[in-house]
Structure 1
Amino acid sequence: MPFVIPTRNFAGKTAPTLSISNFQTSIVSTGISYALYRVKINVDSLKFPYNGVCILPYSLLKERAGMGCDFSKYSPCCLGKEQDGHVPEARVDENEDNAEGIDLPRFHEFTIDQLRRATSGFAVENIVSEHGEKAPNVVYKGRLENQMRIAVKRFNRNAWPDAQQFLEEARAVGQLRNQRLANLLGCCCEGEERLLIAEYMPNDTLAKHLFHWETQPMKWAMRMRVALHLAEALEYCTSKGRALYHDLNAYRVLYDDDYNPKLSCFGLMKNSRDGKSYSTNLAFTPPEYLRTGRVTPESVTYSFGTLLLDLLSGKHIPPSHALDLIRDKNLQTLSDSCLEGQFSNDEGTELVRLASRCLQSEPRERPNPKSLVTALIPLQKDSEVPSHVLMGIPDGTAAFTLSPLGEACLRMDLTAIHEVLEKIGYKDDEGAATELSFQMWTNQMQETLNSKKKGDAAFRHKDFKTAIDNYTVFIDVGTMVSPTVYARRSLSYLMSNMPDEALNDAMQAQVISPVWYIAFYLQAVALLAMGKENEAQVALKEGSSLETKKNTN
């Protein structure tokens, strides 16, 4: 049965309708409702076979399942670097951590072009590192073509002069998969470029929530949860032979969509020339590091002790000063006044005792991560309460305000969305008008413009089948690309109860215009129509954020 492959343009054309029997495929990755395939096809209108990548409907996977492909192990992953013509499979590692519900792609080596696309050209507005552009190594947020959000750490050019060392370290850390980590997904090592790619954690750092809170201070129960989760992360890393963590501090603790604390994987990379292993004030560094300049597992425990002091006091107190207060039994001065009544004297004493053990001047007297976990478990409270509730967030996925358009998308009001698309017209098609006027003299372009005009007229009069047909003619010619045409055809598909096709078009609109909020909103509506509520919330939140930025600029 023939179907249309919605590919990117090649040689000024797009692939025509093909039947399943006349192309060869190998899966690159799968997404929510589509599969990214490497295809080799013969196209009659071309003098050579096309060997490239295209998106195919998810329903096709079932048709191909009988041909020896195991689709159950595939996860979303961006297309990776080719080596000897081979495209690596994007499978999750088959290890014991999958039992924890970890569903992540295998560690992957990305190209710099992929990361440029994911971060909109390393745009300033995508910087999330604490010191912005002034940071020695800048961290960007980004999004892969399969919609997976990522954090991209771009090192300065002198950080890792030895490319092989960088790759070996990244590959080793990239084998770790644990729910207590913001896991490392991949790296990039091209020329002088050194980048790490990790899971994106959208809800700030422990430092922000503990030291610079705006609405309410962090509760005792949440502080103890942070301590336990970090201890569990360190215990896991130690069990996997990665006991060293460089510069463990409150900025290394990140919060996911549901406000669960996770340890950044970036600190697991061995020291390089990007600076000292301890970038904080020397008052917070382990005493043995000051003597030898080397990080040991016991040094990590010392840093964990400083974090326990942060959690208890709500301030970044130098360990020497804290130990003086502890020796003088002046615990009231050490404790955060905002925590009054939230923990017992015994609980406070136990936490102080544990912090003191971590801060012992003799490294061998400090507890190991397993002992830390054992000591922190009895201090847990409200374990059944979700983290976002303890943080005072009513709903971990809906903590943002929607515009009227966003509200229309949330309630799947297609009529209201249609009115908005009609109103904005083609304002967001950057450069399209210029290119159209330049090429209008060709007969082919005139025919293309006529099909677009017919599509617009049908769209205006809500004849969505005719709109789909005419917009498809415009798209298939391939001379022009228009995010608005894809958006209009996406909504037409939604009106025709074809959410898979609608999602594909909305994604194509995003590829053309990466920061266009309309593309994300339409993805959200398509995902809602497919019953993918969690994924829809992510797209809706991103669309809302981009719309807000556009309206404030």
Structure 2
Amino acid sequence: MLSTNTPLLTQISAYKSKDACRNDLKPQDVPGLHFFEMNTIQTATNNFSLSNKLGQGGFGSVYKGKLQDGKEIAVKRLSSSSGQGKEEFMNEIVLISKLQHKNLVRILGCCIEGEERLLIYEFMSNKSLDTFLFDSRKRVEIDWPKRFNIIQGIARGLLYLHRDSRLKVIHRDLKVSNILLDEKMNPKISDFGLARMYQGTEYQDNTHRVVGTLGYMAPEYAWTGVFSEKSDIYSYGVLLLEIISGEKISRFSCGGKTLLAYAWEFWSENRGTNLLDQVVADSCCPSEVGRCVQIGLLCVQHQPVDRPNTLELLYILTTTSDLPTPKQPTFVVHTSDCESHFRDLITVNEMTQSVILGR
């Protein structure tokens, strides 16, 4: 067992070593994390039946389960063919077990048996935000007050990750499908497999392996591998504009315009109120919607220095203070040449992507 005097980040690095990625991770290595028996999880999920399947992610499937005491759980089952996913499995175990906040999903435990690697979470009865936002029937259930609450809740979770937790965490894969909703429609940030953590005042790093989801990645991260608090802010801005409009960044195209270009056009013409999803227009406060559109545009500024940090973000979301005027964001142009070039870097689909950048 590691000494309690070992710096926290050093402990985490040790947990994530190649030895720990095999079967010798012990309960004492991650204090407070429950280790489940495989037969317990098999019974809870009806042996991972299709009827219990909640969804499919980049590195495995998620199932609903019920323990013998009646407690409902969500089980992420790592695909046995995903070698890359094993690192992210370890990352999520050691990271999220150290984090506690009402706007972060809570991990209950894990199971490691043979080639099986499972993460067990609290069950979110309303699943993920995209199941409401992009469904023609269910989107009406999240009116503007609910959407504004979700917008603020995500920002509070980010503030905790970036500034208020023992670890300073860059999520690197903030997107609508990674926002879970509890029974009261409160948002919880999930999926920390790609997250990176820091100590002290360190807030920027670079990588040879860019990971994330097309449409949400900040320009400096997608093209150079540099990531920071501000790259999460960019992803948040995209997410914010999706919540307002009810439109998906990867699918939206209106007259050849991207969602960011569309939002900029509306903000330039009428301060953005027309961007709101019309099925919830009757429930909105126009000035609040316009302010959120402007904040979203500030978050997706091309230069990181022009984006708010997380402290500033929560402040401008919860006050009526004056806002800076955003510059026109850099848009992805919908041309065959541009799309072909980008496909050389990243396979375009809706799952988390990675690409090796040469130096």
Q: CA deviation at 1:223?
A: 0.7
* Whole-angstrom CA distance in 2 between matches of 1:295 and 1:197: 29
Percentage of matched positions with identical amino acids: 30
Classify 1:110/1:219 alpha carbon distance in 2 versus 1 (closer, same or farther; 3 Å).
same
Classify 1:124/1:367 alpha carbon distance in 2 versus 1 (closer, same or farther; 3 Å).
same
Please tell me whether the aligned partners of residues 163 and 189 of structure 1 are also in contact (alpha carbons under 8 angstroms).
no
The correspondence for 1:316, drawn from 238, 248, 252, is 248
* Whole-angstrom CA distance in 2 between matches of 1:156 and 1:116: 16
Unaligned runs of 5+ in 1: 1-82, 94-105, 380-553
**Residues 1:109 and 2:32 are matched in the alignment:** no
Match of 1:299 in 2: 231
Q: CA deviation at 1:145?
A: 2.8
* Whole-angstrom CA distance in 2 between matches of 1:162 and 1:308: 28
* Whole-angstrom CA distance in 2 between matches of 1:166 and 1:292: 26
Match of 1:248 in 2: 174
**Residues 1:270 and 2:195 are matched in the alignment:** yes
Q: CA deviation at 1:171?
A: 2.1
* Deviation per residue, 1:406-425 (Å, 9 max, x gap): xxxxxxxxxxxxxxxxxxxx
Classify 1:160/1:232 alpha carbon distance in 2 versus 1 (closer, same or farther; 3 Å).
farther
Match of 1:189 in 2: 112
Q: CA deviation at 1:293?
A: 3.7
Alignment of 1:438-517 (within 5 A): none
**Residues 1:227 and 2:160 are matched in the alignment:** no
* Whole-angstrom CA distance in 2 between matches of 1:110 and 1:200: 16
Please tell me whether the aligned partners of residues 325 and 334 of structure 1 are also in contact (alpha carbons under 8 angstroms).
no
Q: CA deviation at 1:248?
A: 1.4
Please tell me whether the aligned partners of residues 88 and 194 of structure 2 are also in contact (alpha carbons under 8 angstroms).
no
* Whole-angstrom CA distance in 2 between matches of 1:164 and 1:336: 39
Quick one: which amino acid aligns to residue 211 of structure 2? S
Match of 1:66 in 2: none
Q: CA deviation at 1:234?
A: 1.2
Greater share of strand: 2
- Higher RCO (Cα < 8 Å, 6 or more apart): 2
* Deviation per residue, 1:68-105 (Å, 9 max, x gap): xxxxxxxxxxxxxxx9xx998xxxx9xxxxxxxxxxxx
Quick one: which amino acid aligns to residue 225 of structure 1? N
* Deviation per residue, 1:225-254 (Å, 9 max, x gap): 001111111111222224221321111122
* Deviation per residue, 1:270-303 (Å, 9 max, x gap): 38xxx96323xx3442111221245432111111
The correspondence for 1:178, drawn from 67, 77, 101, is 101
The correspondence for 1:352, drawn from 283, 293, 296, is 293
Quick one: which amino acid aligns to residue 148 of structure 1? K
Quick one: which amino acid aligns to residue 290 of structure 1? A
* Deviation per residue, 1:319-354 (Å, 9 max, x gap): 542354156425354222234354444323311221
* Whole-angstrom CA distance in 2 between matches of 1:305 and 1:127: 30
Greater share of helix: 1
* Deviation per residue, 1:475-521 (Å, 9 max, x gap): xxxxxxxxxxxxxxxxxxxxxxxxxxxxxxxxxxxxxxxxxxxxxxx
Quick one: which amino acid aligns to residue 325 of structure 1? E
Classify 1:255/1:158 alpha carbon distance in 2 versus 1 (closer, same or farther; 3 Å).
same
Q: CA deviation at 1:377?
A: 2.0
SS at match of 2:169: coil
Number of residue-to-residue matches in the alignment? 271
Classify 1:166/1:332 alpha carbon distance in 2 versus 1 (closer, same or farther; 3 Å).
closer
The correspondence for 1:154, drawn from 77, 89, 92, is 77
The correspondence for 1:237, drawn from 161, 181, 190, is 161
Quick one: which amino acid aligns to residue 346 of structure 1? S
SS at match of 1:201: coil
Task: Give TM-score scaled by structure 2 length.
Answer: 0.66
Classify 1:321/1:219 alpha carbon distance in 2 versus 1 (closer, same or farther; 3 Å).
same
Quick one: which amino acid aligns to residue 374 of structure 1? Y
Classify 1:152/1:371 alpha carbon distance in 2 versus 1 (closer, same or farther; 3 Å).
same
SS at match of 1:212: coil
Q: CA deviation at 1:140?
A: 0.6
Quick one: which amino acid aligns to residue 269 of structure 2? K
* Whole-angstrom CA distance in 2 between matches of 1:158 and 1:294: 29
* Whole-angstrom CA distance in 2 between matches of 1:123 and 1:276: 34
Quick one: which amino acid aligns to residue 234 of structure 2? Y
Match of 1:439 in 2: none
* Whole-angstrom CA distance in 2 between matches of 1:198 and 1:311: 25
SS at match of 2:102: coil
* Whole-angstrom CA distance in 2 between matches of 1:370 and 1:193: 40
Match of 1:462 in 2: none
More deviation, 219-228/251-260:
251-260
Alignment of 1:24-63 (within 5 A): none
Structure with larger Rg? 1
